Amino acid sequence: MSKIDLSLDIDSLEILSQTVDTKGNIVIEVQSKATDTPCHKCGKTATKRYGYGPFLTIKHLPLFDKPVYLKIRSVRYQCEHCDDHATTSEQYDWCDRGSKTSKGLEKYLMRSLIHSTVQDVSRKEGLGYKSIVSILQRHIGEKVDWSDYQDLETIGIDEISLKKGYQDFLTIISAIEQSGRLTIIGILEGRQKKDVKDFFESIPKPLIATTKAVCSDMYDGFVQAAKEVFGSQAVVVDRYHVAKLYRAPLDKLRIKEMRRLKSEISAEEYSKLEAMMWILRAHHECLSEADKSKLTLLYKYSPALKEAHKCALKLTHILNTKCNRKVALSKLNRWIKSVDNSDVQCFATFIKTLKKYKPSILNYFKARKNSGFVEGLNNKIKVAKRRCYGFIKPESLFQRMQLDLIGFDMYA
Ligand SMILES: [Zn+2]
């Protein structure tokens, strides 16, 4: 077999020998170039060598798809500052004390964990499940570390249900900093106002002062908690959350009308009305000619859906239009009036909610802060949830989401 010489990617180490063991692992015996280490008792530099500790075997980055182990006999140093001349095993810059994996390997594993699972990485890399979990634990906290933050310019709050159809909600609180960095700052069990308020109050005061907007949906617990901590001028119910609420009754009406049509019109005609959900949700200008004729056909068969859909489009248009708070207010009021005066009934509950949260909805028009990022985040969370088959503790979800969101920046 031809040989190649590779230098180790750790500058502070010197290679003594390289062998391949009976299992095919590459074993590189190394020694440290360092001549001192910080004393474990006083923290001052200890330079006096005092024998050796046991051999350590530390797994490093694989080479040619073969596991690599670094074998090192740790030097012990005696402290000349401490009265009892305490001894300390040397500390490495390439491996945490007590760890069985090198920092280089850990960085690589953390990168592998992004958008993946512990099981998967454990299998691919031939490392135990528990080892991977402990590396993840050491690298990413289970909750937010406020000292990592300069500001919390925009905060987003939303809930997800862990399992479809169950009422076990998690509240997801995220933030976008001025720099544009998006992170999760909290995952709370349930969605009680008190818990949310407690969390908001746990944010250091100087950071609270940097918050310009808290984007929430129209859930009273969230809106009230945010108002009490950040003030009502900061609470924004944005376009995305409003849209979610008026889409639902429109969907319901569509389902009801499609059911009616299925029994009333021929199968051939009915088949022309495929994919109506997306067509009804899309912006008119995004529709193809074929979609538009489908829509025209649907309108012909269901005047009720036609009217409701037109109302929804009008509202979407209002929310998309750049205008100030005052103009938006009169537009919204006009819309409510026009729906009240029409035969459209499916938006009655939505309108009640709209009236209740009007001030916060109108705040959206002030800076057009929107939590489009919350929607993007929700998709990421859904994927993460699915990877774990829906069984995940809030702390683990926090870690996984944080890794997915900023892992590439941290471990590139
Ligand atoms: Zn000392």
Q: Which residue from 85, 129, 88 is spatially nearest to 109, judged by alpha carbons?
A: 129
Distance 92 CA to ligand 1 centre (A): 18
Strand-pairing partners, residue 184, are 174
Q: Residue 98 Cα, ligand 1 centroid: separation in angstroms? A: 20
CA of 77 to the centre of ligand 1 (A): 10
Determine the distance separating the centroid of ligand 1 and the alpha carbon of 356, expressed in angstroms: 66
Contacts of 341 by beta carbon, 8 Å cutoff, 6+ apart: none
d(CA 379, CA 386): 11
- In angstroms, rounded to a whole number, what is the distance separating the alpha carbons of residues 385 and 388? 5
Phi then psi dihedrals of residue 319, to 5 deg? -70, -25
Centre of ligand 1 to C-alpha 99, Å, is 23
Distance 79 CA to ligand 1 centre (A): 5
By the 10 Å C-beta count (0-12 exposed, 13-18 middle, 19+ buried), 339 is classed as buried
Q: Spell out the domains of the chain, with CATH numbers in brackets.
A: 1-100 (no CATH), 146-237+370-403 (3.30.420.10), 239-322+334-350 (no CATH)
Cα of 38 vs centre of ligand 1, distance in Å, is 8
Low-confidence ranges of the chain (pLDDT < 70): 1-3, 163-167, 369-371, 388-391
Ligand 1 centroid – CA 96 distance (Å): 20
* DSSP three-state, residue 16: strand
Distance 4 CA to ligand 1 centre (A): 43
Residues contacting residue 368 through CB under 8 Å, at least 6 positions apart:
322
Find the 85 Cα to ligand 1 centroid distance in Å: 7
Retrieve residue 369's tokens.
């802060």
pLDDT at 2: 63
Its pTM stands at 0.77
What is the distance in A from the centroid of ligand 1 to the CA of 83?
Answer: 8
CA distance linking residue 343 with residue 143, whole number of Å: 50
DSSP 90: P
Which residues surround the ion ligand 1 when the cut-off is CB under 5 Å?
39, 41-42, 79, 81-82
HSE-CB for 176 with a 13 A CA cutoff: 17
- Whether residue 91 contacts residue 48, with contact meaning beta carbons closer than 8 Å, is answered with no
